[in-house]
Each structure stands twice: as C-alpha cells, then as structure tokens.
Amino acid sequence: MVMQKRAWAEIDTNVLAENFRAVRATTSKKILAMVKANAYGHGAVEASRIFMREGASMLGVACVDEVAQLRKNGIDASILIVGSVPHTELADAIRLHAVLSVSSLEEATAISREAEKQKKLASVHIKVDTGMTRLGFSAWETEKAKKVFALPGIRVEGVFSHLACADDPEENITKSQYAAYKQFVQAIQGEGLLQHICSSTGIFRFPAMHCGMVRPGICLYGENPMPEGMGGPNLREAMTVRATVARVASVPAGTCVGYGATYTAEKPMQVATVMIGYGDGIFRALSNRGSVILRGKRVPIIGRICMDQLMVDATGTGAKAGDVATIRGREGDLCITTKETAELLDTISYELFCAIGERIPRIYV
C-alpha cells in the first residue's frame, strides 16, 4: 500500500500498459485508446501518457472539455471526439485541434463554417449508424454523407460505426451491422479513409472486422469483454480502492447500525466505520449486501452506506482505527473484483469504474 488518506484509488501503471499490450498482440491495426470519462475513472492524463508511450495512434474522448484537459497537460496526440459537439463549443474544439465526429450534413456544415472562420482545416470522421440508433448518418444517407467531402475547411480523415451487440453470443446483428458499414463505406467511396468499428469485445471476438483501426476501452482497464464461456484475453484490473478505518466500536446484541436501523446486531460484535461512501461512488445499493477486505478477511457491509462512511462487521478481525480496508481490488490472497460487484448490483463494471468520485485521489503505482 502506497499511502494512507481518508480514501484513495491505486492505479497500477504496469497493468494499464500490460492490458494495452494484450490488445496489440491481437491486432496489427492502429489503436485508438479510449480515455473518455476520465479514462473510465482511472485518470485520463496519466492513462493517455501510458497508452501513447505503448504505441496508441489516437485517443478517444466524448466531449470538448476532455480534449481541453489533455491539451492543458501537454498531450499533443490526435484526439477523436466520438460524441456530438454542440455548435457553441465548435470554436474551442477546432482551436484545440480535436478530430470531430460528423453525424449529419448540418453538423458538418457548422464545422465547416467555424473552420473557415478560424482559417483552419478541421479533421473529421464520418459516423454511420448501422443499428445502434444513437448517432451517425443513417446507413442509407450516403448521398448526404458524400457532400461532406466538398465542404470547405474540412478534411475527411475516417469513417466509423459502433457495434451494438458484440457481446451477444448470437452474431447475426453484429454481422448485419458490419455488412451495412462496409456498404456505406463503399457507397461514399471511402475505402482510403481510416475505418474503425470494433471496440473492446469486437477486437477480441471479430478479428476480421478490425479494418484500419480498433477502439479499445474497458479492456484497457482490466475487464474481459468476451461473453461468458468464450475465453478472452488475460487482463487485470488496474484500480484498487481503499479507505481508512475511523473507529472500531464494541456493541452489545440489539444495537442498530446506520440510517433506518436496517441492521441489528444479533450478538455482541465489533463495528468498524470505514471512511468512504456513496459520495465517493460506493453505491448505496451495496448496503447489507456488499463486503470489504479488512485485516486479511472478507467482512460484510452492515447497515446503510452513508454519503461519507460505511460500516462493516469487524468481529474477530482485530481491526483498529487507522487500519486500511480494501473496497475493491486485491489484498494478499483475497480479491473483490469490479465485475463481481457489478453483478451483485445488476449493472456493468463500466459504471462502477466511472463512479469513483473526484474527491478520491488517484495514486499511480
């Protein structure tokens, strides 16, 4: 353990690098490393530096503010904004040399006007909606898409789409999407453009769809994206979340714990208060369901998780104030994975990674 504060997240930089290499071992194509949402909670600046050092050709973000953060910290890589940019933010996006996604002719026209105003050439990737129904030209809007090439101030650099069901054991939808994508590319005469459609699952499951570039996201941070029972890469989670024990109280049977008195001690026990809560991204739904690792033992969370603390049954652990509890990650031979916690909450690990709040410092080890 590297330090002790109220609570913190340790990010293993070697693991981030190893996970990137697992992608590189799977493809010979260019790699766009997704670092949106603060690199899925891992810290966008540091993660970007690691991925660029490992050979990423581009970085991917969701909005202009994320580009600004990277530029402010000296990241001069090519950065694609995969989402839509409001017209009011186009000036900043072009000034920051962001590569922009284009989902409509109207959007492209607005980019063209701003690029002309700044006397710059804006690089764009045309996005095609092949079945996600989120963003992009519809697959049949090829004539509109072709008009983007003629707009002044724009350089069309790439064309991309997004697979909606890559993790579905059935492959029909994915194959249909890929066919629609390739037909769109051919129709707009975009064979010479940088093409990309595969994110994490597609990278490992559909190598024939790698095109010219792939877009790894969750796999870089340690989640095996393959469907259950289909194997997958050897990845490790890079984030471990820890927090300090503030107090250990010996209480008699009948003592209630936490808001709403949802837990009552059935016998004399020790209750440890750990300084982390839902205000830090530890979901309240883990109340009376989740667990932490304390003094080499896995112990249950008892009572409702508070905004800034949670309580655990520390009976028999020998715990004392100042000890460190592992909320997620490994301690010795024990491990609480993000995937395990996500399954308990009926959600996905992406949400839990991104939920770790800003007041939790990221410590790079």
Tell whether the model's pLDDT for residue 301 goes beyond 70: yes
Q: What is the pLDDT of residues 71-114, one digit of tens each?
A: 999 999 999 999 999 999 999 999 999 999 999 999 999 999 99
3-class secondary structure per residue, the chain: CCCCCCEEEEECHHHHHHHHHHHHCCCCCEEEEECHHHHHCCCHHHHHHHHHHHCCCEEEECCHHHHHHHHHCCCCCCEEECCCCCHHHHHHHHHCCCEEEECCHHHHHHHHHHHHHHCCCEEEEEEEECCCCCCCEECCCHHHHHHHHHCCCEEEEEEECCCCCCCCCCCHHHHHHHHHHHHHHHHCCCCCCEEECCCHHHHHHCHHHCCCEECCCHHHHCCCCCCCCCCCCCCCCCEEEEEEEEEEEEECCCCEECHHHCEECCCCEEEEEECCCHHHCCCHHHCCCCEEEECCEEEEEECCCCCCCEEEECCCCCCCCCCEEEEEEEECCEEECHHHHHHHCCCCHHHHHHHCCCCCCEEEC
Q: What is the pLDDT of residues 84-96, one digit of tens each?
A: 999 999 999 999 9
In whole angstroms, how far apart are CA 178 and each of 141, 166, 167, 175, 211? 16, 11, 14, 5, 10
Q: What is the pLDDT of residues 253-275, one digit of tens each?
A: 999 999 999 999 999 999 999 99
pTM assigned to the model? 0.95
Instruction: State the residue for tokens 């402010």.
Output: 72
**Would you state the pLDDT for residue 247?**
98
Task: Give CA–CA dist 220/216, Å, rounded.
Answer: 6
**Would you state the pLDDT for residue 260?**
98
Degrees (nearest 5) of the Cα angle 291, 295, 299?
20
Residue numbers annotated as active site: 36, 259
Task: Give residue 4's pLDDT band: very low, low, confident or very high (50, 70, 90).
Answer: confident
What's the mean pLDDT in 276-292? 98
Task: Give CA–CA dist 286/310, Å, rounded.
Answer: 10
Q: How do beta strands 291-294 and 324-331 pair?
A: antiparallel
How does the average pLDDT of the chain come out, rounded? 97
Task: Give residue 130's pLDDT band: very low, low, confident or very high (50, 70, 90).
Answer: very high
Task: Give residue 231's pLDDT band: very low, low, confident or very high (50, 70, 90).
Answer: confident
**Would you state the pLDDT for residue 3?**
55
What's the mean pLDDT in 181-204? 98
